[in-house]
Amino acid sequence: MKAGQAEAMQNIDEHAYDDILHLPHPDSPSHPRMARQDRAAQFAPFAALTGYDAAIQETARPTEKQREMGEEDLAALNEKLRILMENIQ
């Protein structure tokens, strides 16, 4: 394309919408305008996985205190572990 043609095309593109640029916004007789708050709600974030956040929070919630072993319980467990290790070999 030559320089003159490109300039003519640009000139046409710049003025392509001059006839409708300053017209008033069209109002539909069958569809009333939506309230601004309702329009904003359309674009609000949504939870794609309903209940997912609640499930994660429930899983992370501590349900009972962890029991600590006393000396006797620890000794009994060590004895059972020793017996298992002897029988594996």
Token couple for 49 = 């996985």
pLDDT at position 1:
57
Q: Whole-model pTM?
A: 0.28
What six digits make up the tokens of 42? Answer: 């359309």
For the stretch 66-88, what's the b/e string if a residue is b when 16 or more beta carbons lie within 10 angstroms of its beta carbon? eeeeeeeeeeeeeeeeeeeeeee
| pLDDT at residue number 40 | 84
Q: pLDDT tens-digit profile of 16-63? A: 888 888 999 888 989 988 898 888 888 877 767 788 888 888 888 887
Confidence tier at 77 by pLDDT (50, 70, 90): very high
What's residue 4's pLDDT? 62
Q: How many helices (H) and strands (E) does the chain have?
A: 4, 0
